[in-house]
Chains A and B, each alone.
Chain A
Amino acid sequence: MRRESSKEKATRLYAFLLTLYPQGYKYAFGPQMVQTFKDYYADVVESGQQAEVPFWFGVVSDEVRGILREQLAVLKESTSMNNVWIKQGILFGILLGIIHIGYNLINNLAPANLTLNSLLNNSILLIVAIFTSVAGYIAVRKTGQLKMGTYAGLCTGLLSIGIGISALFLITFAFMSIIRQNAFMIFDFHRSGLSSIDEFIIQDAVGATIVGITFSLLAGGICGTFGGYLGKIVKGRENDE
């Protein structure tokens, strides 16, 4: 059986050191680094220019610095990427949340009007789609990663609906007497078969909460990804130029 040469042993040890680098870096530079190490080892140790101990001391101290630097770079990049989707999610989530508050105020307190009601419901769907898409678009333009668009869209949707639902319950309890007079509410109450209109109004708010959360999650995920996809295309074109 052939005995492993000192160069082969050294190369194996060096290859082990390289496993401590981040995955992407290792994939891009690992084989070249091993080859350069082999050349270096042959030139310096095998030729007798330097003994093993000082050689390894130099190699390990340089690699430790390199590993720390690259791991830190990955950490910094991932933190800054996380910051991007969180920032976009919070910004657009708050803006959309304010629109949800306006929607709830008009929807619950304005006199019943079929045209206004229909316009309001269609508009809010469109606005949610636009805001979540734009949040996704910006997040991907800044990071280049499609998943950041999805995260930004989901964050926008969840935060905004959280604000909207809080506003809905506050409005419901604060303006119960006005909501009781709403013609649509009275009509739906009579169809529901419930004995108390207050109970019906609260059930209606709970129903709106379930629908709102489901829709916001779906719209956030889908539109955020779609906006992110557009962002990726635009970013790709800019890079090509």
Chain B
Amino acid sequence: MKTEEDGTPLTPAVFYILLSLAIGEKHGYEIMKQVKQDTQGKITMGNGTLYGSIKRMLTDGLIEDGGERVDPDKERRKYYRLTERGRQTLGAEMQRYVETVRLMQERQLIPRLSGQVNL
């Protein structure tokens, strides 16, 4: 059910990786921690899922290699960052969410949320 123009809807893994990188480039474990934090622990991404998603996102041009760095703990880590396409795709996905919430509010499907979510 992917749309031709913006590649949405995204899988939860791809969406949360994009969201985590939207605030700055990160290495693998930082992404995992950010996803856990952003979802209040509801999504815990394992290494296999993370790097499987990273592989596809690199191929799709959503993220790019930000280079390797030796961090203060002397460990060498590879960083990833969003591409312009990744930023646009994330924007399109968030817009889709906003529109969905608006629709749910119009239909009064989430009356308790309507006061909290100001669109």
Contact = CB atoms under 8 A, between A and B. Distances in A.
Nearest to B28: A36
A35 B75 contact: yes
Q: Looking at chain A, what size class is its interface with the partner chain? A: 20 to 34
A64 to B, nearest CB: 8
Contacts of A66: 46-49, 51-52
Given A35-B75, A36-B50, A65-B49, A58 B44 contact: yes
B27 A36 contact: yes
Contact of B48 (A38, A39, A43, A65): A65
A125 interface: no
Nearest to A69: B52
B49 A62 contact: yes
Q: What's the dominant secondary structure at chain A's contact region?
A: helix
A28 B47 CA distance: 14
B28 A35 contact: yes
Interface in B17-40: 27-29, 32-33
B29 A43 contact: yes
Contacts of A37: 47
Interface residues of B, number: 19
Contacts of A43: 29, 33
A106 interface: no
Contacts, number: 62
Interface in B41-90: 44, 46-52, 54-55, 75-78
Contacts of B52: 66, 69-70
Given A36-B29, A38-B75, A62 B48 contact: yes
A59 B27 CA distance: 19
Contacts of B29: 35-36, 39-40, 43
A38 B73 CA distance: 12
B17 to A, nearest CB: 13
A55 to B, nearest CB: 11
A70 B33 CA distance: 24
B27 to A, nearest CB: 7
Interface string A56-73: 001101111111011000
Nearest to A68: B48
Contacts of A67: 48
B28 A33 contact: yes
B110 to A, nearest CB: 33
A29 interface: yes
Interface string A24-42: 0100110011011111100
Nearest to B78: A32
A13 to B, nearest CB: 13
Nearest to B56: A73
Nearest to A58: B46
Contacts of A70: 52
A64 B75 CA distance: 27
Contacts of A38: 75
Interface string B79-117: 000000000000000000000000000000000000000
Interface of A: 25, 28-29, 32-33, 35-40, 43, 58-59, 61-67, 69-70
11 contacts: A28-B55, A32-B27, A32-B78, A35-B76, A39-B28, A39-B29, A43-B29, A62-B48, A66-B48, A69-B48, A70-B52
Interface of B: 27-29, 32-33, 44, 46-52, 54-55, 75-78
